[in-house]
């Protein structure tokens, strides 16, 4: 079953002669549990695509279905709750809250939703992420690689069906990058989560199950990496 269905989405900024067509009738589907890398030059439309999938921006036309639900047909309040519970975001800049320690940062989306955090799942995640010894540390006391692990933990903690990762290794050295990608792959399999990851790094893209290329707003499926 496809977790994600993208149906002819287009995004145009501006109008007339100055119009920028950031996405042009992009269509693709992603089965549950697949790890997809999105590659393309700077300004090709990769980030626009991710913003549409995460409902952070609205397409000019077309539909995005997550788990069979048309996200842009939802009212704003409903969409906010849906996004919080079903989509996890991992950003290049980590975006951790400096005043909160590791476990507080991981639990934050659940607390924001007025839900009760699952202490057993928190322990499991801290172990998987290799952060048990760092649970009381603030972001400023962590390395870049450790901060990105916290960001992954935060994205996973709501048990979302879809994780959107925007250049998650962009601020990391090659060893930390490899570790973070291995961790994403491991957690995607372990928790059956679908991951869409933007990366400019072709060798990192090759570790995904499938690669999509965005060029001048047009999406091409480059196929599966390992048959």
Whether the CB-CB separation of 80 and 55 falls below 8 Å is answered with: no
Tokens 């901060």 label which residue? 147
Residues 169-197: tens digit of each pLDDT = 887 788 888 888 888 888 888 888 899 99
Phi (first) and psi of residue 190, to 5 degrees: -65, -45
Task: Say which residues have a Cβ less than 8 Å from residue 3's Cβ, sequence separation at least 6.
Answer: 30, 31, 32, 33, 34, 66, 67, 161, 162, 194
Whether the CB-CB separation of 58 and 48 falls below 8 Å is answered with: no
Residues 121-167: tens digit of each pLDDT = 999 889 888 899 999 999 999 998 899 889 989 998 888 999 999 98
At 225 the pLDDT is: 60
3-class SS at 92? coil
Phi (first) and psi of residue 137, to 5 degrees: -80, 150
Whether the CB-CB separation of 35 and 209 falls below 8 Å is answered with: yes
Residues 15-33: tens digit of each pLDDT = 888 888 889 999 999 999 9
Q: Decide the pairing of beta strands 210-215 and 218-224.
A: antiparallel
Residues 83-115: tens digit of each pLDDT = 988 999 988 888 899 999 999 999 998 888 788
- Whole-prediction pTM: 0.87
Q: Which residue blocks in 64-216 are alpha helix, DSSP H?
A: 76-86, 102-112, 119-128, 144-157, 174-190, 202-205
Percentage of the residues of the chain whose pLDDT score is greater than 90: 52
Q: Which domains does the chain have, with CATH numbers?
A: 32-61+75-224 (3.40.50.300)
3-class SS at 87? strand
């Amino acid at each position: 079953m496809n977790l994600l269905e993208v149906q002819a989405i287009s995004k145009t900024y501006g109008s007339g002669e100055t119009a920028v067509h950031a996405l042009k009738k992009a269509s693709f589907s992603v089965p549950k549990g697949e790890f997809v890398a999105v590659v393309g030059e700077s300004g090709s439309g990769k980030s626009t695509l991710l913003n549409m999938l995460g409902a952070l921006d609205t397409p000019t036309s077309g539909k995005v279905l997550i788990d069979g639900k048309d996200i842009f047909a939802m009212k704003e309040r409903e969409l906010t709750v849906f996004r919080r519970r079903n989509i996890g975001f991992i950003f290049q800049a980590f975006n951790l809250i400096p005043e909160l320690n590791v476990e507080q940062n991981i639990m934050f989306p659940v607390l924001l939703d007025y839900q009760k955090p699952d202490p057993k799942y928190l322990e499991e995640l801290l172990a998987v992420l290799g952060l048990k010894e760092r649970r009381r540390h603030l972001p400023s006391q962590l390395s870049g690689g450790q901060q990105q692990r916290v960001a992954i933990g935060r994205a996973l903690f709501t048990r979302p069906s879809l994780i959107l990762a925007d250049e998650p290794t962009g601020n990391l050295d090659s060893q930390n990058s490899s570790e973070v990608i291995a961790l994403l792959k491991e957690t995607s399999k372990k928790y059956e989560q679908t991951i869409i990851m933007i990366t400019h790094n072709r060798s990192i893209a090759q570790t995904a199950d499938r690669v999509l290329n965005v060029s001048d707003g047009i999406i091409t499926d480059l196929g599966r990496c390992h048959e």
